[in-house]
Amino acid sequence: MRRARPSDSDELTRIAHAAKRHWGYSEQLIRLWEPDLTLRPGFVARQPAYCAVERSRPVAFYALSGRGRCRELEHMWVHPRRIGSGVGTLLFAHLINRLRIMGVTRLRIASDPNAEGFYIRMGARRVGDVASKPAGRALPLLILRVPAGSRPDASPGRHRAA
């Protein structure tokens, strides 16, 4: 696990696109979502972003946005070849540790419907929906309360939903 670098932005974008395609979305939808799936070097430089690497190349990553004690999970993507391997769980554990270090108490997640079950297993709770593209589509909105603690304990599934 390491901090993502601006020079990783193209590879992170490829991972996001491949992961989205993995769920069977049409190319028309992928094109519609392309701006949201594209990571710019400036974003990676400014926002907390971390990646899991194998052989020096990113295979999964997450990125946060926002300030203060409540943050938003902007991106969390695992390359399709690594889905089901446990790398997503390790990445989420890293995320929880980072949130604790940053003093964050709540994480807001607008989840792809296919990833909602993962976030619920990690301790998030669905609190509603958020509008998405195309018009009329909604994404599950989840909240995860990050437990306080003097020692980070990122065991997945131990986090309380807000």
* CATH number for the domain that contains residue 26: 3.40.630.30
With 60 as the cut, is the pLDDT of residue 158 above it? Answer: no
Structural domain boundaries enclosing 34: 2-145
User: What pTM does this model have?
Assistant: 0.87
pLDDT of residue 149: 59
Is residue 31 in a domain? yes
Edge-to-edge order in the sheet of strand 2-3: 2-3, 49-54, 57-65, 70-78, 106-110, 138-145, 125-131
Q: pLDDT digits over 108-157, tens only?
A: 999 999 999 999 999 999 999 999 999 899 999 999 999 775 444 444 45
Cα–Cα distance between 75 and 77 in angstroms, integer?
Answer: 6
| Number of domain units in the chain | 1
CA distance 9 to 106: 26
| pLDDT mean over 96-103 | 94
Average pLDDT (32-53) is 95
In a domain, 32, yes or no: yes
Q: Is there a contact between 4 and 63 (Cβ–Cβ < 8 Å)?
A: yes
* Interatomic CA distance for residues 113 and 93, integer angstroms: 21
